[in-house]
Amino acid sequence: EDQVTQSPEALRLQEGESSSLNCSYTVSGLRGLFWYRQDPGKGPEFLFTLYSAGEEKEKERLKATLTKKESFLHITAPKPEDSATYLCAVQARGGATNKLIFGTGTLLAVQP
């Protein structure tokens, strides 16, 4: 069964303190791995798509990487406005649709 596990569940950082969020996945065949940011009570905001092991994507203070079993979201010198829940999702190959299978997310709090 396709599955996504994110860790830690919650992370508290001081402003400027870099860290990484983990997303482990099992999928029959990976079409793509996606990172989203979600603010409280709002819909997920698309951040990155990764397709193959070794691929990296960057956006401002965020950098996403992918291996055959997991993905990392590295946050460099975070600011309070980076506080949100970060969701990881996978799409499997061969399905009838491009449905997303999500993890439960990592709640990030960045304190000034």
Partner 1 sequence: DAGVTQSPTHLIKTRGQQVTLRCSPKSGHDTVSWYQQALGQGPQFIFQYYEEEERQRGNFPDRFSGHQFPNYSSELNVNALLLGDSALYLCASSTASGIHEQYFGPGTRLTVT
The residue ranges that bind partner 1 (CB under 8 A) are 4, 31-32, 34, 36, 41-46, 49, 87, 89, 91, 95-105
Closest to partner 1 by CB, 14 or 97 = 97
Which of 46, 58 has the CB closer to partner 1?
A: 46
Indicate the residue among 88 and 110 with the shorter CB distance to partner 1.
88
Closest by CA position to 61, among listed 89, 19, 108: 19
Q: Name which of 77, 98, 91 is nearest 32 in CA terms.
A: 91
H or E stretch including 14?
A: strand 10-14
Q: How far apart are CA 78 and CA 98, in angstroms?
A: 32
Nearest residue (CB) to partner 1, 13 versus 37? 37
In angstroms, what is the minimal distance from the CB of 15 to partner 1?
Answer: 25
Which position has the token pair 């092991």?
53
Q: How far is the CB of 86 from partner 1 (least distance, A)?
A: 11
- Smallest gap from Cβ 57 to partner 1, in A, equals 12
Kindly state the smallest distance separating residue 44's Cβ from partner 1, in Å. 5
- According to DSSP, the residues that pair with 75 across neighbouring strands are 19, 62
Nearest to 51 by CA among 36, 72, 37, 65: 65
